[in-house]
Amino acid sequence: MQLIFEKGRPGRKGANLPKCDVPEKPLQELIPARYLRSEPAGLPELSEPEVLRHFINLSRNNYGIDLGFYPLGSCSMKHNPRVHELIAAMPGFSAVHPLQPVELAQGALRLMFELGEHLKEIGGMAGVTLQPAAGAHGELAGMMMIRAYHRERGDTRTKVLIPDSAHGTNPASAALAGYRTEEVKSNAHGTVDLDDLKKKATSECAALMLTNPNTLGLFEKDIVEIKRILDDVGALLYMDGANLNALVGLIRPGDMGFDVVHFNLHKTFTTPHGGGGPGAGPVGVSERLLPYLPVPTVEKSADGRYSLKHDLPRSIGRLSTFYGNFGIMVRAYAYIRTMGAEGLKAVSENAVINANYMMAKLKDLLPLAYQGPCMHEFVLTGKPLLKETGVHTRDVAKRIIDFGFHPPTVYFPLVVDEAIMIEPTETETKETLDAFCDALAQIVKECRENPEHVITAPHTTPVGKLDETKAVKELNIKWIPPRGEG
């Protein structure tokens, strides 16, 4: 069979599809012979139900936030309201073209402008860029602006300070921006050791990258003193805002003295994430960093029109091919507008209450790495359990899967041995939190009574425990047909 497309075919009746020029000749006559296949492509012959069943069965082997509790610490795996998907799919948003003239993209620009204004308000910052495509990308943007700031003052600073509890992206971003990094120790309470900070905050120091609340789920309550120490040596303060789900509506990074904060829209402001994206990492900046914002910025003129401003001579330049991950911005905007100021504050309060509730229930089962109260997450240690029973935290994590839950983050932050990091988020009920605590209690009991059963878990998944070391050493990626097909 040969398909010949009609010229200027109008599409489905009634559907207002644009006309396009489709060639009249068969494709075989249009494409040079050397580019044509000499043999059929060898695609499998499948019926529609077979294809459907294949993908449905694959999806049933997967686990996601819509199937159950997902307490992955540091990742804010909260509910993603379905209404956001409907809004992001509206043609005005989903079909807007990045090269469309700004006069024809006023709605999209308005959304970007207003999202930026909301983020400025939430962060207490003077300016914002929406371009970075992830938190880590935002970190790079922030560090580049900090570097531009120092350079313009003829100040060639070489190092960036990063606490030992920080996320690995922090030193990576600082290094990409051309800095060497130096670690600042945590004290016995799990927060920044001020004496160590004072020692390392020299005139060589460009900035401190601080996560607040930090990755141990603890609020850096010495933030005012930290800011003073950095001010004394002319260094700037960067906030890794990945844990903002604990703070929105309660306290603002700008008011704490931060010069830069990145927002992980996919965490704090709901977008389906995990497995690598997509995300968005807008960055808020203080007054003194405004001139360095990436171009273009989204501007609103007195007559209410929106435009893109490219003419910012001191800008660090462009960070994305176009304007960032627009679909994520739409979801974040929808979330902020539906929640409102009071709703967003309640989110933070409930996230903190949920975490403290679980922490209180679990701390006698597995010891806390650092004493609470915690913010939106907390860290337990499986070290005593390992000593007593020979069962590692990674085994406990795999066994949790058999109880129908996603495991928490483990072995992070690195400063805690056998770390188990739990972030319940605000969208889970007390019943769910209780069920997870009960499962963990049951597993700890099993570690004592039948450790082998925990060590060989999971027992209920399509694929059992993998030999991770072997997988790294002898990488073997091949297609394994599902049962019945091979």
Query: CA angle 247-291-253, nearest 5°?
Result: 10
The residue sitting closest to ligand PLP, measured at its beta carbon, is: 135
Cα(385)–Cα(387) distance, integer angstroms: 5
Q: DSSP string covering 267-316, please?
A: HHTT----SS------EEE-GGGGGGPPSPEEEE-TTS-EEEE---TT--
Cα(325)–Cα(119) distance, integer angstroms: 16
Over the window 152 to 171, marking each residue x when it contacts ligand PLP by CB under 6 A and - when it does not, the resulting string is ---------------x-x--
Residue type, 441: A
Contact at 8 Å (CB) between 138 and 184? no
136 binds ligand PLP (CB under 6 A): yes
Over the window 396 to 435, marking each residue x when it contacts ligand PLP by CB under 6 A and - when it does not, the resulting string is ----------------------------------------
Q: How far is the CB of 163 from ligand PLP (least distance, A)?
A: 11
Q: How far is the CB of 243 from ligand PLP (least distance, A)?
A: 6
245 binds ligand PLP (CB under 6 A): no
Helix (H) or strand (E) holding 129: strand 127-129
Using CA atoms, how far residue 188 sits from 192, 193, 229, 369, 370, in Å, is 9, 8, 20, 10, 8
Q: Which of 186, 215, 348, 393 binds ligand PLP (CB under 6 A)?
A: 215
Q: Which of 163, 253, 281, 296 binds ligand PLP (CB under 6 A)?
A: 281
For ligand PLP, the binding residues in 193-212 under the rule CB under 6 A are 211
Contact at 8 Å (CB) between 438 and 381? no
Question: For ligand PLP, which stretch binds (CB under 6 A), given 133-141, 184-192, 364-372, 442-450?
Answer: 133-141
135 binds ligand PLP (CB under 6 A): yes
Question: For ligand PLP, which stretch binds (CB under 6 A), given 51-59, 62-70, 131-139, 302-310?
Answer: 131-139
279 binds ligand PLP (CB under 6 A): yes
Question: For ligand PLP, which stretch binds (CB under 6 A), given 30-38, 41-49, 53-61, 128-136?
Answer: 128-136
134 binds ligand PLP (CB under 6 A): yes
Residue owning tokens 């700037």: 236
Which is closer to ligand PLP, CB of 306 or CB of 335? Answer: 335
Cα(243)–Cα(263) distance, integer angstroms: 9
| Region label for 467, one of left (φ > 0), alpha (ψ between -120 and 50) or beta (otherwise) | beta
Q: How far is the CB of 46 from ligand PLP (least distance, A)?
A: 36
Contact at 8 Å (CB) between 263 and 269? yes
For ligand PLP, the binding residues in 337-396 under the rule CB under 6 A are none
What does DSSP assign to residue 222?
T
Which is closer to ligand PLP, CB of 130 or CB of 134? Answer: 134
Q: How far is the CB of 138 from ligand PLP (least distance, A)?
A: 8
Over the window 58 to 87, marking each residue x when it contacts ligand PLP by CB under 6 A and - when it does not, the resulting string is ----------------x-------------
Q: Binding residues for ligand PLP, how many (CB under 6 A)?
A: 13
Which is closer to ligand PLP, CB of 136 or CB of 410? Answer: 136
Rg of the chain on CA atoms, in Å: 26
- Helix (DSSP H) and strand (DSSP E) numbers for the chain: 17, 12
Binding positions for ligand PLP, rule: CB under 6 A: 74, 134-136, 167, 169, 211, 215, 240, 242, 264, 279, 281
